[in-house]
Structures are given as structure tokens and as C-alpha cells.
Structure 1
Amino acid sequence: MSSLQRCGMILYMDKATWLGLLVGFGGIIAGNLLEGGHMSSLMQLTAFIIVLAGTIGAVMVSSSEKDLKTGLALAKAAFKTEESHIKNRIVEIVDYSRLAKKESLLALEPRIGRVSDPLLQNVLRSVVDGIDQNTIRDIYETQILTEEDELLAGAKVWADAGGFAPTIGIIGAVLGLIHVMGNLTDTSKLGAGIAVAFVATVYGVSSANLLFLPLGNKIKRKVHEITREKQLILEGGLMIAGGANPIVVEQKLHAFLTSEQK
């Protein structure tokens, strides 16, 4: 189960991501055609292999296997949008606070097994077990921060790819020029070499600025949303442990909502 699913988010296709890629790459292709160029001039297999393989290799060297797997999993989520159940989670927490206020914390115990969110389930179990609030906060804040660091490491994979791709594109350009210089006497090979040189640069810069870096930024935003929901759950559990009034619990948890969610 992914982190997005654990946080109660249902995934749908993210139109903004797909539309952004269409507009970005489509604009480059349209500009090339308007300048009198042809699609075939941008279709260079050699340049594509150099940039793609070089970028992948550099990312693999700079990242751990775990970070690579996390980055790939998060990339799938970046191409989808999520319907957050954060407001339902608030309602759930407020209901538990009413029950605890009306009866006692022990009245929550029979319901813990039916709690949908794993983090909320663990927090409530700690509350029912009578663990000190400061200890609960220390335990789960550390857990939340650790999970956030792991997810951000996955996002960094794409940011790194955005940093490496332009440089790999330049390497492809240099290789193309080397090929050109080695065949100055054979004019039939000059055009192909020059094409690889310039197209490799286009591939590197465009993939970095239209795909890798924007993808990394979108993943970071989703990670922050996941963390914010986890912080809401922890805060709600601690307020239940402290015997807070359900109205106060609801008001404080609503502060975690964005203006759109409100």
C-alpha cells in the first residue's frame, strides 16, 4: 500500500500534469515546425540513447536502490490527482473525542480495530494504553519526519535527473562534434553528426526543464500534503488524550485544511 493510500487519498488522473507535458513539448515541436523544421530533425535515436542512458546511469550512481524505488512509485502518483479524505478523518477524530469525553478513554478500545488509518489507530492505542502525551508526540513526530525524509529522498531522484540531463546533453553534443571533426573529408556524414550534437542538447535541456524538475517539484508538494495529514492525525490523538472539548478539537484540526478544502 502506497503512502498516498495510507493517508486516505484516492488516485485519479492528474490533468494538470498531462496537459503541462502536452503544452511544453508540444510548444517546442510547434515552434520547430513554424521555423520551417521537420519532425524528423528532432528524432535522433543516437542522441536519445545518450541522454536517456546517461541520465539514468548518473541517477543510479547518486541514489540508493530504496530511493530509486520510492522515486518511481511517487512518479506514478504525480501523474494522478488525489481526492483526500482529510475532512472525513477530522470527523472521525472528533467523534472519538466526543466518545472519550462522554465516557472515558477506555471506551475507545473496542473501536480501535475498526479505525481506517494505521497512524490514527496506533496513536489511539497509545492513548488508551495511558502513554504520556509528550512520549506519544516524540514517538510519532519522529516517525512522521522519518517517513517524510524517505519520501523526499524519492522526490530528489527526479530533481537529480533534472540536474544531470542537460550536462549529459552537452556530452552528447561534444560526441557529435567529435564525430563531425573526424569526418570532415566526408561531407555526407557531417549533417548527421551536427544533428546529433544539437538534438542531444535539446533532449537534455527540455527533459530536465519540462519533465524531471517539474515532476520532482510536484512530488515534493504531495509529500508535504501527506505529512500535513499525518500531523493532523497526531494532533487530534493528543487532544483526545488531553481531554479537549470536541468543539475545540474540530476547530484546531480545521486549521490544517487548505482554503480549497475548507
Structure 2
Amino acid sequence: MKRNILPLIGMVAGILLIFASISVNSNIMSFVDAPSLIITLVGSFCALLISFPFNTLKKVPALLKKLMFTPEDDLKGLIDRITELARKSRTEGILSIESEIEELNNPLLIHGLEMVVDGTDIDTIENILNIELDQMEDRHSIGHEVFLKWGEYAPAFGMIGTLIGLIAMLGDLQDPSLIGSGMATALITTFYGSFLANLIFLPIAKNLEVQTANELKANEMIVEGVLALQRGDNPRVIEQKLSSYLSQKEKQGKDEKEDLEVAEELTR
């Protein structure tokens, strides 16, 4: 895991930008209204309580922690490790990699290699690993779904708060001079809803979605590598196949590393 403070920087910068814009054009205290915030924030959370089981919502603090600590996916390192295991398996036999499994830290790779060493047929390995991939995607998509829904509910409850304020204001029009301030107060909940959705909830949902996609990509590569190893594919073919999962920039970095290693080997 590596610390990722970029989401926090973006969130704080966005909040400061909005506050600065408010302070230039009006008094910032005119945008502070506790009942409006309660309607928007607490009301939308109540909708979440209806939408998701409580056990799912209890994971929200852990999901926020995941936002700040992203997994360190070293795809190039994984490719090198799988290729190395394929070479050892090809020269010394499949059982020779059993001692290497204990040094790994990726649960999916460990489970896949254990099944390969145990002689499990390739169709069974593929089915089991694909089920694990589906379960992982379902678990990780929960956080994305929670914050995505929260981002949808917050503006809706902001509009509800605005309608409540307008109804209360229009119900008492004895003093026309109060219409302007009453209208401003009614619109604050819409502001809160849009603010919370577009600067907090929806960006968090997108961040978690991207993290899930990256982890799924790494795990799909692991499954492909395990199946290729079970088939006894040539290590060079396995390396080339798995390298297709890398971006162009990552491929260039990998090629430069290999060239450097070859040059060091020739100078010895």
C-alpha cells in the first residue's frame, strides 16, 4: 500500500476555491445554515440506510481509508515473477516452484500456483480463479455503489429542502421585503446538495471505481499467467502475452530495464 494524498489535496483545494468565490461576492456566513445541512446530509444518509444493508454501510470508514492508501500494483514485477517461475518449472519440473510460493504475497497468485502444483486440471483452475475474480469485483464495487448513490441522493434532498423553504415562504407573504432573504435561505439546501455530490461523494465513487478496475486488471493478468504456466507455455511467450496488459509507457520502462540488465551482464 502507498499513501495517496492527491484526493485530499483536490478536495481541500476545491473547498477553498468555493469559499474564496463566496467571500468575494457575499458574506460567507449567509451560506451557513444548520437545518439545510441536516436535511441534505442526514436525509441522504437515511436514504442510504434504506438502499444498503447496515453491514455494508459499516465499511464506509474503511473505504475512506482505502481512498488515501491505494494498492501498489507492480505489474512489471508480477510479469517478471511469473516468467521466472515458468522458466524454473520448465527446467526443473512443476514441483520445483512449490518452495517459491511461500515467498509470494498475492493471494490469488498463491492459490493459482498451489492448484498448478497439485496437478489440478486447467479448466477447474480457470473456473475457480474466475469465480474469485467475480467475488473480488463484487466486494470492491460496494464502495463505489455506496458513494455513487450518495452522490445521487444529496442533490435530491437539497431540492427537497429548497421546496420546503419555498412552501414555508410562500405560505406567509405578509412582508414582501422578506421574500429575497427567504428565497436565498430556501436555495441553500440546493447548494449543499450540489456541493456534497460533485466535490465529495461522486469523486470518491470514481476513485474507488478506478482502483477496482486497476486491481481487476492485475488479477486478470495473474489468471492468464497461471493458466499459461499450467499449459507449459514457453516462458518467453508467457512474458510477451502478459506484457500486453501493460500500457505503452510501462512497456517502454520494462524494455529499458531489460536492456540495462543485458548491458550489465555483458560487461561482467
TM-score range, shorter chain: 0.7 to 0.9
Matched ranges for 1:72-91 at <5 A:
72-91=61-80
Tell me the residue number matched to 1:118: 107
Tell me which structure has the larger Cα radius of gyration.
2
- Quick one: distance in 1 between partners of 2:139 and 2:178? 48
> 1:259–1:38: structure 2 CA closer, same or farther, 3 Å change rule?
farther
Task: With the length of structure 2 as denominator, give the TM-score of the two structures.
Answer: 0.84
Which of 227, 236, 239 is the matching residue for 1:238?
227
Matched ranges for 1:77-226 at <5 A:
77-185=66-174, 193-226=182-215
1:30 aligns with 2:20: yes
- Listed as ranges, the gaps of 5+ residues in structure 2 are 252-268
The code of the aligned residue for 1:86 comes to L
Shift of 1:44: 1.2
Across the aligned residues of Structure 1 and Structure 2, the Cα RMSD in angstroms comes to 2.3
Task: With the length of structure 1 as denominator, give the TM-score of the two structures.
Answer: 0.86
The percentage of aligned residue pairs carrying the same residue is 33
8 Å Cα contact 1:70/1:151 also seen in 2: no
8 Å Cα contact 1:109/1:125 also seen in 2: yes
Shift of 1:216: 1.0
Between the two proteins, the alignment pairs up a number of residues equal to 251
8 Å Cα contact 2:73/2:218 also seen in 1: no
8 Å Cα contact 1:33/1:39 also seen in 2: yes
Greater shift, 180-189 or 84-93, is seen at 180-189
- Quick one: distance in 1 between partners of 2:95 and 2:234? 17
- Quick one: distance in 1 between partners of 2:136 and 2:228? 23
8 Å Cα contact 1:183/1:190 also seen in 2: no
- Listed as ranges, the gaps of 5+ residues in structure 1 are 1-9
8 Å Cα contact 1:173/1:201 also seen in 2: yes
Shift of 1:108: 1.5
- Quick one: distance in 2 between partners of 1:114 and 1:21? 39
The code of the aligned residue for 2:22 comes to N
